[in-house]
Amino acid sequence: MGTTTQALSTRATDARAAEDFDRRDLDWYIDKLIAVIVFVCGISAVLFVLGIFFFVTKEGIGFVFEKMDFREFFLTPYWSPSDAEDPEYGILALMAGTASVTGLAMLVAVPFSLGAAIFIAEFATGKTREALKVLVELLAAIPSVVWGFIGLVIMNPLLIKWFDIPVGLCVLNAGVILGLMAAPIMTSIAEDALKAVPDRYREAAEAMGATRWQVIYKVVLPAAKNGLLGGVLLGVGRGFGETMAVLMATGHAVNIPGSIFDSVRALTATIAAELGEAVVGGEHYQVLFTIGIFLFLITFIINLSADLIVRGIRKG
Amino acid sequence: MATANPTMFQASDLNHHNERVQRRYRLLFGLMTLLLITPVMLILGTLVVKGGGAISWEFLLTAPTDGMRTGGVFPALLGTIWLVTVALILSVPIGIFAAIYLSEYAGDNWFTRTINLAIINLAGVPSIVHALFGLGAFVLFFKFGTSILAASLTLAVMTMPVVIVATRESLQAVPQAFREACWNMGATRWQTIRRVVLPNSLTGILTGVILEVSRTAGETAPIMFTGAVFFTPFLPQSVFDQTMALSLHLFVAATQVPGIAEEVPFGVALVLIGLVLTMNSVSIAFRMWLRGKKKW
* Interface size between A and B, measured as CB pairs under 8 A: 273
Q: Is A150 on the interface with B (CB under 8 A)?
A: yes
**pLDDT tens across B116-146, in order?**
999 999 999 999 999 999 999 999 999 999 9
Strand partners, A79: A89
**Alpha helical stretches, state H, chain B:** 13-52, 57-61, 74-100, 110-124, 127-134, 148-172, 176-184, 189-192, 198-218, 221-224, 246-255, 263-293
Q: Domain ranges for chain B, please list them.
A: 74-245
The pLDDT tens digits of the residues spanning A231-257 come to 899 889 988 899 999 999 998 889 888
> How far is it, in rounded angstroms, from Cα A266 to Cα A256?
11
In CATH terms, the fold of domain B74-245 is MetI-like fold (1.10.3720)
| C-alpha to C-alpha distance for B83 and B91, rounded to whole angstroms | 12
pLDDT digits (tens, 9 = 90+) for A30-60: 889 999 999 999 999 999 999 999 999 999 9
User: Which sign, positive or negative, has the C-alpha torsion B31, A148, A239, B211?
Assistant: positive
* Yes or no, beta carbons of B160 and A45 under 8 Å apart: yes
- CB contact under 8 Å between B191 and A27, yes or no, is yes
Distance CA B221, CA B232 (A): 18
What's the number of CA atoms in the CB half-sphere (13 Å) around residue B41?
9
Look up the CATH architecture of domain A88-315. Orthogonal Bundle (1.10)
CB spacing of A44 vs B94 below 8 angstroms: yes
Distance CA A209, CA B149 (A): 62
- pLDDT band of residue B226 (cuts 50, 70, 90) is very high
Q: What is the pLDDT of residues A292-308, one digit of tens each?
A: 999 999 999 999 998 88
- C-alpha distance from B125 to closest chain A C-alpha (Å): 6
Mean pLDDT of A204-212: 89
Q: Look at residue B207 in the predicted model and tell me its pLDDT.
A: 87
Q: Please report the residues numbered 82 through 101 in chain A whose beta carbons come closer than 8 angstroms to any beta carbon of chain B.
A: none
User: Rounded distance, CA A19 to CA A122, Å?
Assistant: 57
Stronger pLDDT, B147 or A126, i.e. the higher one? B147
Judge whether residue A199 has pLDDT over 70: yes
> Could you tell me the pTM of the whole model?
0.88
Kindly report the backbone phi and psi dihedral angles of residue A56, in degrees, each rounded to the nearest multiple of 5, phi listed first. -65, -40
The CA-atom distances, in angstroms, between A59 and each of A95, B132, B156 are 21, 9, 21
ipTM of the complex: 0.88
Among B33, B130, B190, beta carbon nearest to A34: B190
Per-residue pLDDT band for A23 (boundaries 50, 70, 90) equals: low
Distance from CA of B62 to the nearest CA of A (A): 22
Contacts of A58 in chain B (CB under 8 A): 136
pLDDT at A220 over 50: yes
Contact A59, A283 (CB under 8 A): no
CB contact under 8 A, A211 and B132: no
Phi and psi of B4, rounded to 5°? -65, 140
Please name the amino acid found at residue A237: G
Interface mutation target, options A28, A52, A270, chain B, most CBs of B under 10 Å: A52
- For B46, name the nearest residue in chain A, comparing CA atoms only: A154
Quickly list DSSP for chain A.
Answer: -HHHHHHHHHHHHHTHHHHHHHH-SHHHHHHHHHHHHHHHHHTHHHHHHHHHHHHHHHHHHHHHHHT--HHHHHH---EETT-SSS-EE--HHHHHHHHHHHHHHHHHHHHHHHHHHHIIIII--HHHHHHHHHHHHHHTTS-HHHHHHHIIIIIHHHHHHHH--S---SHHHHHHHHHHHHHHHHHHHHHHHHHTS-HHHHHHHHHTT--HHHHIIIIIHHHHHHHHHHHHHHHHHHHHH--HHHHHHSB------SSTTS-B--HHHHHHHHTTTSPTTSHHHHHHHHHHHHHHHHHHHHHHHHHHHHHHHHH-
On whether any CB of chain B is under 8 Å from the CB of A299, the answer is yes
Chain A from 228 to 287: CB within 8 A of any B CB: 234, 237-238, 240-244, 248, 268, 271-272, 275-276, 280
Q: How far apart are CA A264 and CA A183, in angstroms?
A: 22
B222 has a pLDDT exceeding 60: yes
Residue in chain A closest to B44 (alpha carbons) equals A150
